[in-house]
Copies of this chain bind each other. A is one copy, B any other.
């Protein structure tokens, strides 16, 4: 298979879906010129009517997506950085999540919300915060985050075809990660709601996603021989594939959840609580989380040791296996 970067994989998903379905379009700020390469060059093929730049007016911009979705189109709304979605949060969380259900499950709202997220750029909190946990807290919205070029292309395609609002951020720290992706024209998708065992193991399970998945794989490789680490990528947070996780725990009986979100209220807490309820008897040790400490993400030189990193992951694995 050919190798492409993570961000190019997203662009391929856009290209293929936009060619396939004329109702797909992208709306954002400076997406024509492309702040990030996933929209680069698209305007040349699809024109400014389908690669739509708006003023710095997140509510109006998101309104283009939201309203057009009600009108039967399939918009992708690009918030540039994840935190910017908070500027129109009542719309993109509550009003979006409740639209279908509260109005009687009669009218779907097929739209995609994306943005770059995550630490590693040293830009501090408002440019570095994760959003998957926050959106996963609000019902009626699917939430997923790919970790490899293969998954990125397949999951973005799934998200665009889904009849629901899907929040699918991408981590800036793996933007240039290369990986194998099927040939152009091979119209594969990766379904939302299905976890993926990225590395098999038998001593301990690590659930990690995105940049942190890469960290987890690095640690698993490092520990190989000493400890056999199974690394699961949830891929989706809503819906969440609990079965794959519990099946793994039947084998390993130990779990470390790595999540680049705050300890308080992040998705790792939800996973831990669910395992408590549904897999208590499987556990030989308490589920341990590696998360952002409960402080606004500092920028500068602090980011690298405040955020989850291989050292912290390794320490957590050793602790649950002790």
B139 touches A296 (CB 8 A): yes
A137 contacts which of B134, B140, B276, B277 (Cβ < 8 Å)? B134
- Closest residue of B by beta carbon distance from A86: B90
**73-108 of chain A: CB within 8 A of chain B:** 83-84, 86-87, 89-90, 93-95, 97-98, 101-102
Q: Which residues of B contact A140 (CB under 8 A)?
A: 295-296
Residue A262 is within 8 A (CB to CB) of chain B in the complex: yes
Residue A212 is within 8 A (CB to CB) of chain B in the complex: no
Assembly of this chain: how many copies?
Answer: 2
Question: Range of interface residues on chain A?
Answer: 35 or more
Complex: A137 Cα to B265 Cα, angstroms: 5
Q: Which of A4-12, A123-131, A245-253 contacts B (4 or more CB under 8 A)?
A: A123-131
Residue A286 is within 8 A (CB to CB) of chain B in the complex: yes
Q: Which residues of B contact A238 (CB under 8 A)?
A: 264, 294
A264 contacts which of B89, B137, B294 (Cβ < 8 Å)? B137
Instruction: Looking at the assembled complex, report how far the CB atom of A135 sits from the nearest CB atom of chain B, in whole angstroms.
Output: 9
B90 touches A264 (CB 8 A): no
A126 touches B98 (CB 8 A): yes
Complex: A133 Cα to B274 Cα, angstroms: 17
SS class, residues of chain A in contact with chain B: helix
Identify which of A90, A124, A273, A276 gathers the most chain B CB atoms within 10 Å of its CB.
A273
**201-242 of chain A: CB within 8 A of chain B:** 238
A296 touches B264 (CB 8 A): no
Complex: A218 Cα to B62 Cα, angstroms: 45
Residue A288 is within 8 A (CB to CB) of chain B in the complex: yes
A90 touches B90 (CB 8 A): no
Instruction: Looking at the assembled complex, report how far the CB atom of A173 sits from the nearest CB atom of chain B, in whole angstroms.
Output: 20
Top 7 A-B pairs, shortest CB-CB distance: A137-B265, A89-B89, A272-B273, A280-B286, A98-B296, A86-B90, A269-B273
A-B contact sample (20 more), CB < 8 A, given A133-B265, A139-B295, A273-B273 = A83-B90, A86-B94, A94-B296, A95-B126, A98-B124, A102-B125, A134-B137, A137-B137, A137-B262, A238-B264, A238-B294, A263-B270, A265-B265, A265-B267, A265-B269, A269-B272, A275-B276, A276-B276, A276-B287, A280-B285
